[in-house]
Amino acid sequence: METFFQFNRYLHITAGVVGFFVAPVALAVRKGGAAHRLWGRVFFWAMAVAGTTAIAGAQHIHSLFLLLTAVFSLYMAGFGYRSLFLKPLAWDARVGAFDWAVAGTGLMVFAGTVAYAFAAGNVPVGVFGALGAFTAARQLRGYAKAGRWAKNQWLLNHISGFMAAYIAAVSAFSVTSLRFIPFPYNFLWPTALGVPVIWWWQRRVRGNQVAVTSEQLAVNNQLNC
């Protein structure tokens, strides 16, 4: 059994390092191009592996921090990746049961995390829990408004999800490796730097964002017939 956890640790570190260096590459290359899609997929799967192995490792070393960071990172990476497939919600009101279930479960998990953080007086855990609960609540509200999304809403979700997953990965690296930074700053500095970057990207996208017009809706309906 110890051999499994040793392998799990090395796999987690490898996936984390890959995701750590690949994310800036995906941001630097032309958005929507072949390179962006390639490195974006690499980042997503690196985060999926890192998050899954972190959950297994957290059970072994009894680390609540590692467990919560893994759950947050997995959820955000999944949110960002899934948004690529939800572009039709700008004109189609049909939301799959899978998407409702994931967002609803995420809201319950992160709300529970906030409650735990409040009871334990753990500010960093509360920050991640609040960000996760806010994201899940916005997802559910967005699904309720499906069919009336702005044209680029999927892109806003894509940016938010992937960058939040990256923030979680950097936070985990900071806590486990940058021992010279005192707690809780080692946990919170990636969020303090990363959230303004997310807002900046979203402002850029919203500057080009338009609601789907009735003419566009008619064209899309014809294409889907």
- Per-residue pLDDT reduced to its tens digit, 62-74: 677 778 888 999 9
Q: Compute how many other C-beta atoms are within 10 angstroms of the C-beta atom of residue 161.
A: 24
Q: What confidence score (pLDDT) does residue 61 get?
A: 67
Residue 134 within a domain: yes
Q: What confidence score (pLDDT) does residue 14 get?
A: 92
Q: 166 vs 48, 112, 150, 201, CA distance in Å?
A: 12, 23, 25, 15
Nearest CA-CA partner of 86 in 107, 69, 103, 68: 103
Distance CA 159, CA 169 (A): 15
Residue 51 within a domain: no
Q: Where are the beta strands (DSSP E) in the chain?
A: none
Q: Which domain holds residue 204?
A: 62-224
Residue 100 within a domain: yes
Helical pair 153-177 and 34-61, crossing angle rounded to 10 deg: 40
- pLDDT tens-digit map of 74-131: 999 999 999 999 999 999 889 999 999 999 999 999 999 999 889 888 888 888 899 9
Going by the DSSP 8-state scheme, the letter that residue 213 receives in this structure is P
Distance CA 119, CA 67 (A): 18
Contact assessment for residue 138 and residue 184, using Cβ atoms and an 8 Å cutoff: no
Contact assessment for residue 137 and residue 45, using Cβ atoms and an 8 Å cutoff: no
Contact assessment for residue 50 and residue 170, using Cβ atoms and an 8 Å cutoff: no
Nearest CA-CA partner of 197 in 167, 153, 155: 167
Contact assessment for residue 156 and residue 206, using Cβ atoms and an 8 Å cutoff: yes
- ω into 184 cis (within 30 of 0): yes
Residue 21 within a domain: no
Residue 44 within a domain: no
Residue 49 within a domain: no
Nearest CA-CA partner of 102 in 136, 127, 66, 68: 136
Q: What is the pTM of this model?
A: 0.83
Residue 29 within a domain: no
Contact assessment for residue 18 and residue 46, using Cβ atoms and an 8 Å cutoff: yes
Count the domains in the chain.
1
Residue 153 within a domain: yes
- The stretch 19-33 carries a mean pLDDT of 87
